[in-house]
Structure 1
Amino acid sequence: MNFEQHFTDKQKGMISLALEYADAIGESVDKVYIYTSFENNLYAFDIFFKKNDEYYMLHELSNSVDPSLIIDVLQIGNKDLRDIKQICDKYAQQMPTQMKIVYDNNLKKVSAEYSYDIFHSDSTTLTYRDIFQKWFKEVKNSSL
C-alpha cells in the first residue's frame, strides 16, 4: 500500500465510525460531516450529521444516547487521527492541520478539504471547538 491508500483507508474508517454510531442509536442519516484538527500536537475530532434536511451535532442525533457511547466515538476518532499522523510521518508527508470530510450517505460519495494553515493554536481565545461550531453553522445556514 502507498501513502494515498493508507490515508484514504483511515478516512473511510472515520466515515464508518460515524455511520456505525448513527446505526447503533437507531438513526439513519443523509450526510456525515467529520472535522479534525491537529495543531501543536493537539488532536481533535468531531462529527455532525444531516438528517431530513436538519443538522445535528453528535450528541443531538437522538434524545436517548448514552454519553459513554459519544465518548467512545470521539476517542476512536482521535485514535484514527493519530494513526493518520503516523501514516504522514511514515511517508514523510505533511499532516493536515484541518480536515473537513463530507460523506453523502445517499449518493455514497465523499468529499474532503485539507488545510495546512494554523487556525486556533496561535490564538489566546479560539479553540478547535470554535472552528468546528463555525463550520456547523456555515453548513447549516447554507444547507450543504
Structure 2
Amino acid sequence: MSKNFEDKFSELQADMVAICLEYVENRAEKIFIYCSFEARVISSDFFYCINGKVVRKHKLNDAISNPNDFHYDTSGERQSGVLTILINNIKEMINLCDEYNREMPSEIKLIYSVVNNSLSADYKYDMVYSNHPEKTADDISREWFEEIQSTL
C-alpha cells in the first residue's frame, strides 16, 4: 500500500520528535518543536519540559534535581546536529507539499508528550513574523517558549 501525503508528512514530524528525543536521551516529559517557513526562510528551534521546568535546549542541566546522577550533553555540536536535521525535515516537507500541490504551513508548533506518547500539532498558514518590522522567527520561538514557561 502506497503512502499518501498525510502519512509522509506525519513521518517527517515523527522524525523531528525522534531526533529531539534522542538529544534529551529520552529524559523529558515534553518536547516542543518550532518550525517556520516564511518568505523562503526556514527556521527551527526546540525546547523541553523536564522535571516540571520548561528549559531551552542549552539549559537542560538546569532542570536536573541531582546533577551527580546524570548530566545532559548540550554541546553546540549536538544542538547544531539536531537543528540541521530539523531544517532538512522542513525542506522535505516543503518538497512534499510541492509534490502534492498542498500549501506549506508558515508555522508548525509540535508538542510531544513523552509520558503519554502523544503528539499535538498547531499549523498556521498566514504570515507570522515576516510582515512585522522587527520580529524574526527566533522572536516568535522565544515568545512561544515564554508562553509555555508561564503556563507550567
Aligned residue number for residue 40 of structure 2: 41
Aligned mate of 1:128, from 131, 137, 145: 137
Q: Distance in 2 between matches of 1:108 and 1:36?
A: 20
Aligned residue number for residue 61 of structure 1: 60
Name structure 2 gaps, 5 residues minimum: 62-71
Aligned residue number for residue 66 of structure 2: none
Q: CA deviation at 1:65?
A: 2.1
Q: CA deviation at 1:58?
A: 1.1
Aligned residue number for residue 7 of structure 2: 5
Does 2:18 correspond to 1:16? Answer: yes
Q: Which has the larger radius of gyration?
A: 2
RMSD of aligned alpha carbons: 1.1
Aligned residue number for residue 120 of structure 2: 111
Aligned residue number for residue 65 of structure 2: none
Aligned residue number for residue 92 of structure 2: 83
Name structure 1 gaps, 5 residues minimum: none
Across the two proteins, how many residue pairs are aligned to each other?
140
Residue identity matched to 2:74: V
Q: Distance in 1 between matches of 2:88 and 2:56?
A: 20
3-state secondary structure, aligned to 2:24: helix
Q: Distance in 2 between matches of 1:11 and 1:82?
A: 12
Q: CA deviation at 1:122?
A: 1.4
* TM score, norm. by length of structure 1: 0.94
Q: CA deviation at 1:69?
A: 1.0
Residue identity matched to 1:124: P
Q: CA deviation at 1:6?
A: 0.4
